[in-house]
């Protein structure tokens, strides 16, 4: 079986590598993270000019027409670069929901501007009481004439501080935890009645808790039928985060091996210590196992003959593996670097923080392990 990316995907990866090497050193990344928006608008414009923002979207919407494999390829490289720009929230979550649920007019109005770099978005899906349960939604949407009025609250809305528009998941019918009765709405980020509490996450990305008090929303797609669409987009989101984590693990392993060849103890480099060699082999194997499972998951998702249950099982297994391997690789990188590994001056600690955040987004390792057990052994 061929585990390599296609020639076009490899060229895409190499273009990101070259850009990051020339324009996104660790110091330059920190400068971008310290800006008022939490990232560089100039970098975002560059992403648009180089066509990276078009990758996941269909050609009829002005995009490149890429699939989940193309998305994984670019997220892996952005993981290595440790970018703080809102790529995941805008392309995968917001863009994915608009692409799958939006009407032709909505997609024309939003995606063209997004691909051109003139619009950023965020997805307000989860709520404080939900505990990773997408169907646990108390936010309500009541129809009033020709519009819907939204009321409720959303938590940890990634990159909401820089978003121009939001996609909000709200309940239009049913009980609080019913999968049926959920709908998606397009909302202006500065809409009347919308209140944000912004904060910085430990990985330098921004997020918000949002309160909606009589906010006007534009229905996307069919009312009461949003849950399968959100599940489909979240499946791609889990794979994208896993690919980003894989890129981080590869970077941490390379950095740790290189450091072990220069750091001396007892008059010799620590790379000569057999115990540390074994530990670095273990982290390399953790990376390779995760890479293999990512490739396997991509193959299963690309196979139209597979059931949704099969795809969900593979995604749950992947997120479980990423949580386990990510913690192992991150812990060993910190240990082998010693006290330097946790300082802000060294990039290692920042990569580990991003890994830890990925392992908490939309579900912990234990959550996905339980999900896998339920799906695989039902």
Two tokens, residue 233: 């987009």
pLDDT band at 3 (very low <50, low <70, confident <90, very high): low
**CATH 2.40.110.10 domain extents, the chain:** 122-224
In angstroms, rounded to a whole number, what is the distance separating the alpha carbons of residues 230 and 58? Answer: 18
Determine the pLDDT at residue 267.
76
> pLDDT tens-digit profile of 266-313?
878 877 688 888 888 999 999 999 999 999 999 999 888 888 899 999
> pLDDT tens-digit profile of 129-166?
998 999 999 999 999 888 899 999 999 999 999 999 99
pLDDT band at 94 (very low <50, low <70, confident <90, very high): very high
Q: Is 3 exposed, middle or buried (CB count within 10 Å of its CB: 0-12, 13-18, 19+)?
A: exposed
**CATH 1.10.540.10 domain extents, the chain:** 7-119
Q: Which CATH superfamily is domain 7-119 in?
A: Acyl-CoA dehydrogenase/oxidase, N-terminal domain (1.10.540.10)
Cα distances from 156 to residues 186, 224, 233, in angstroms, run 18, 24, 18
Which pairing describes strands 165-171 and 194-200: parallel, antiparallel, or unpaired?
unpaired
> pLDDT tens-digit profile of 176-235?
999 999 999 999 999 999 999 999 999 999 999 999 999 999 999 899 999 999 999 999
Fold of domain 228-376: Butyryl-CoA Dehydrogenase, subunit A; domain 3 (1.20.140)
Two tokens, residue 268: 């010799």
Q: pTM of the full predicted structure?
A: 0.94
**CATH 1.20.140.10 domain extents, the chain:** 228-376
CATH number attached to the domain at 122-224: 2.40.110.10
Cα distances from 363 to residues 126, 246, 262, 319, 357, in angstroms, run 11, 17, 38, 9, 10
Which pairing describes strands 147-158 and 206-220: parallel, antiparallel, or unpaired?
antiparallel
| CA dihedral (249, 252, 258, 263) positive or negative | negative
Determine the pLDDT at residue 335.
87
Secondary structure of the chain as H, E, C letters: CCCCCCHHHHHHHHHHHHHHHHHCCHHHHHHHHCCCCCCCHHHHHHHHHCCHHHCCCCHHHCCCCCCHHHHHHHHHHHHHHCCCCCHHHHHHHHHHHHHHHCCHHHHHHHHHHHHCCCCCEEEECCCCCCCCCCCCCCCEEEEECCEEEEEEEEEEEECHHHCCEEEEEEECCCCCCCCCCEEEEEEECCCCCEEEEEEECCCCCEEEEEEEEEEEEEEECCCCECHHHHHHHHHHHHHHHHHHHHHHHHHHHHHHHHHHCCCEECCEEHHHCHHHHHHHHHHHHHHHHHHHHHHHHHHHHHCCCCCHHHHHHHHHHHHHHHHHHHHHHHHHHHHHHHHHHHCCCCHHHHHHHHHHHHCCCCCCHHHHHHHHHHHHCC
């Amino acid at each position: 079986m061929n585990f390599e990316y296609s020639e076009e995907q490899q060229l895409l990866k190499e273009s990101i590598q070259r850009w990051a090497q020339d324009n996104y050193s660790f110091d330059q990344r920190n400068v971008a993270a310290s800006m008022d928006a939490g990232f560089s608008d100039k970098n975002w414009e560059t992403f648009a000019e180089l066509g990276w923002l078009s990758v996941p979207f269909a050609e009829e919407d002005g995009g490149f027409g890429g699939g989940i494999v193309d998305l994984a390829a670019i997220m892996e490289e952005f993981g290595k670069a440790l970018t703080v720009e809102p790529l995941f929230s805008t392309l995968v979550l917001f863009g994915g929901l608009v692409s799958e649920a939006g009407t032709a007019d909505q997609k024309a109005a939003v995606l063209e501007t997004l691909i051109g770099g003139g619009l950023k978005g965020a997805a307000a899906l989860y709520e404080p009481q939900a505990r990773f349960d997408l169907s646990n939604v108390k936010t309500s949407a009541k129809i009033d004439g020709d519009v819907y009025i939204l009321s409720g609250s959303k938590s940890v809305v990634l990159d909401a501080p820089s978003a121009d528009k939001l996609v909000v998941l709200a309940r239009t019918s049913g009980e609080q935890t019913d999968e049926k009765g959920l709908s998606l709405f397009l909302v202006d980020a500065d809409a009347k009645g919308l209140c944000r509490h912004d904060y910085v996450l430990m990985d330098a990305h921004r997020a918000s808790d949002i309160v909606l008090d009589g906010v006007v929303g534009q229905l996307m797609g069919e009312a009461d039928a949003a849950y399968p669409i959100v599940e489909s987009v979240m499946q791609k989101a889990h794979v994208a985060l896993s690919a980003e984590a894989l890129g981080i693990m590869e970077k941490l392993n390379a950095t740790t091996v290189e450091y072990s060849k220069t750091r001396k103890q007892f008059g010799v480099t620590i790379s000569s210590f057999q115990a540390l060699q074994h530990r670095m082999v273990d982290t390399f194997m953790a990376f390779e196992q995760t890479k293999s499972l990512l490739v396997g998951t991509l193959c299963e998702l690309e196979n139209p003959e597979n059931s949704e249950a099969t795809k969900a099982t593979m995604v749950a297994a992947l997120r479980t593996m990423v949580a386990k391997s990510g913690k192992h690789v991150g812990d060993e990188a910190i240990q082998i670097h010693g006290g330097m590994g946790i300082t802000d001056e060294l990039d290692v600690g920042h990569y580990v923080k991003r890994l830890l955040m990925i392992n908490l987004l939309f579900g912990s390792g234990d959550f996905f392990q339980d999900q896998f057990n339920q799906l695989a052994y039902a």
